[in-house]
């Protein structure tokens, strides 16, 4: 996944509260080697760096992103992975 446009980002806790779920389950697709997460009956993508032992999800956030074809989806990743850091809210 390259050239993603980040539309919005919230903490994993905020995302769970917004979606009314208590947890985000992460799965590995054995065929593709890619991870995805489930929240209720819906799914989202997980950063490819999740499988890298040097970069655990220690500051998890969920971003709504749009790819080059205009497809929107959720991406679970570390806060710093999008090269932006939330500085606060007013």
pLDDT at 2 (0 to 100) = 66
pLDDT band per the 50, 70, 90 thresholds, residue 9: very high
pLDDT per residue as tens digits for the range 52-81: 766 778 899 999 999 999 999 999 999 875
pLDDT at 80 (0 to 100) = 72
Instruction: Tell me the pTM.
Output: 0.82
Q: Where are the domains of the chain?
A: 5-82
**Distance set, CA 34 to CA 10, 30, 43, 48 (Å):** 22, 8, 13, 7
pLDDT per residue as tens digits for the range 25-47: 999 999 999 999 999 999 999 99
Q: 11 with 58: CB under 8 angstroms?
A: no
- SS3 for 12? helix
């Amino acid at each position: 996944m390259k050239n993603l446009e980040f539309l919005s980002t919230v903490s994993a806790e905020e995302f769970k509260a917004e979606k009314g779920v208590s947890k985000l389950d992460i799965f590995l697709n054995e065929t593709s080697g890619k991870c995805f997460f489930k929240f209720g009956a819906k799914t989202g993508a997980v950063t490819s760096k999740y499988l890298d032992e040097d970069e655990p999800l220690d500051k998890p956030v969920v971003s709504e992103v749009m790819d080059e074809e205009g497809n929107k989806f959720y991406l679970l990743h570390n806060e710093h992975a999008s090269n932006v850091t939330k500085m606060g809210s007013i």
